[in-house]
Amino acid sequence: MKTPITVVIADDHPMLLAGLKSFFSLSERHVVVGQAACADSSLELVKAVEPDIIIMDLSMPGDVFRTIGQIVTTMPATKVVMFTAYCSIESALKALEAGATGFVLKGSPASELLEAIDLVMAGQMFVTRQYASQVMNGLRDRARRHSLDEAVKLNVREKQIVGHLMQARTNREIGVALHLTEKTVKHYMSGLMLKLKARNRLEVVIAARQNGDSEDALRSYQ
So where are the chain's domains?
A: 5-138, 156-221
Q: What are the φ/ψ torsions at residue 91 (nearest 5 degrees)?
A: -65, -40
Say which range, 72-76, 132-136, 146-150, 175-179, has the weakest mean pLDDT: 146-150
Label residue 114 exposed, middle or buried (CB < 10 Å: 0-12, 13-18, 19+).
Answer: middle
| Distance, CA of 103 to CA of 132 (rounded, Å) | 9
pLDDT of residue 92: 84
Q: What confidence score (pLDDT) does residue 149 get?
A: 42
Identify whether the C-beta of residue 136 lies closer than 8 Å to the C-beta of residue 168: yes
Read off the amino acid at residue 213: D
Q: How many helices (H) and strands (E) does the chain have?
A: 11, 6
Query: At 218, is the pLDDT very low, low, confident or very high (cuts 50, 70, 90)?
Result: very low
Average pLDDT over residues 112-129: 90
What's the confidence (pLDDT) of residue 146? 42
CATH of domain 5-138: 3.40.50.2300
Q: List the 126-127 sheet strands across, edge first.
A: 30-36, 5-10, 53-56, 79-84, 102-105, 126-127
Mean pLDDT for the stretch of residues 125-130: 84
> What b/e sequence results for 60-83 when a residue is b if at least 16 CB atoms lie within 10 Å of its CB, and e otherwise?
bebebbebbbbbbeebeebbbbbb
Distance from C-alpha of 169 to C-alpha of 221, rounded to nearest angstrom: 11
Identify the architecture of domain 156-221 in CATH.
Orthogonal Bundle (1.10)
pLDDT at 82: 94
pLDDT in tens, 3-51: 899 999 999 998 988 999 999 988 889 999 999 999 999 999 999 999 9
Question: Average per-residue pLDDT in the chain?
Answer: 84
- The predicted model scores a pTM of 0.64
Each residue of 87-102: pLDDT tens digit?
A: 778 888 888 889 999 9
